[in-house]
Amino acid sequence: MTGRVFLITGSTDGIGKHTAHLIAKLGATVLVHGRSPERVQLTQLEIQQQSGNANVHGYVADFASLEGVRQLSRDIHQNHSSLDVLINNAGVLETKRMESADGYEMTFAVNVLSPFYLTSLLLDLLKKGNAPRLINVASISQACRIDFDDLQFQMNYGNGVPAYELSKLCNIMFTYMMAEKFQPYGMTVNTLDPGTVNTKMLLKSWGAIGVSVDEADYEYNLATSSTYDNVTGKYFVYNQDAMSSHVSYDKKKQQKLWDILVKITGAKFD
């Protein structure tokens, strides 16, 4: 892995941080991302010290705004000429409805708009990568339907879980489209459920029903294992190819979602 560059969004805590630790131990260059400058710096130093790998770099960006996504892209372009693996791991589950700086429901903004937009902005670096991989982290807690008239949950937000489940369905749907579009670049694009893990998010909304974060290796495996060298357009659960929600395979709905996301973000993939 020496010489390979990995960007893991949302990697100052939980599964993202654990994944960054494991990859750093392989000798790869690891780009840690978070929204708190203090936590990014602490995570960077911790991983450097525990892995013995000096090539761990921190980036600060708040995905609660599209400008934050653009700033992360600018910073990475300034320091790196290529990117081998992008793991869109950052995510939130807001128990009360909030809006982003751009006026979108926060879970949708952070979990859907940000990874979609960031991927478009970093696509040129991924094209230059060595056997590049793109991983969009979804969840087994995914919606089974999509209401295009209420993606923002203007009504009946409830405890935030339905908005989270919708965001994970959206991640899966645009992953399938990205896999097709990016295949000419020699890039694999996959999505996964990272496991039922006792992260802060799980504890807040479902309780301690999962395994320790130290056991959450599924993202790491999908990002590094040679088993997935030529595998693309798949959804994985427990390292196994699995079926996502039936609606996620609907090509017309995939395209409709894609068009909406492009219109909102201004993302360009050509």
Give pLDDT, residue 204: 62
Assigned token pair, 140: 């087994």
pLDDT digits (tens, 9 = 90+) for 222-251: 999 999 999 999 999 999 999 999 999 999
Question: Whole-structure pTM over 0.85, yes or no?
Answer: yes
> Could you state, in chain order, the average pLDDT of each consecutive group of 10 residues for the chain (270 residues)?
93 93 97 97 97 97 98 98 97 94 98 98 98 97 95 91 96 98 96 73 58 77 96 96 98 98 95
Cα(40)–Cα(12) distance, integer angstroms: 6
Give pLDDT, residue 199: 59
Helix, strand, or coil (residue 263)? helix
Burial of 207 (0-12, 13-18, 19+ CB in 10 A): exposed
CA distances from 201 to 70, 87, 94, 198 (A): 26, 18, 9, 8
Give pLDDT, residue 217: 86
* Record: fold of 5-265: Rossmann fold (3.40.50)
Give pLDDT, residue 70: 98
Give pLDDT, residue 213: 66
User: Within a 13 Å sphere around the CA of 94, how many CA atoms are in the beta-carbon half?
Assistant: 19
Assigned token pair, 27: 């000798």
Q: Could you give the residue ranges of the DSSP H alpha helices within 80-206?
A: 106-108, 114-127, 161-182, 200-205
User: Within a 13 Å sphere around the CA of 18, how many CA atoms are in the beta-carbon half?
Assistant: 16
Q: Are 155 and 210 in contact (CB under 8 A)?
A: no
Q: Are 75 and 59 in contact (CB under 8 A)?
A: yes
Give pLDDT, residue 214: 73
Give pLDDT, residue 2: 82
- Domain ranges within the chain, ordered by starting residue: 5-265
- How many Cβ atoms sit within 10 Å of the Cβ of residue 54? 10
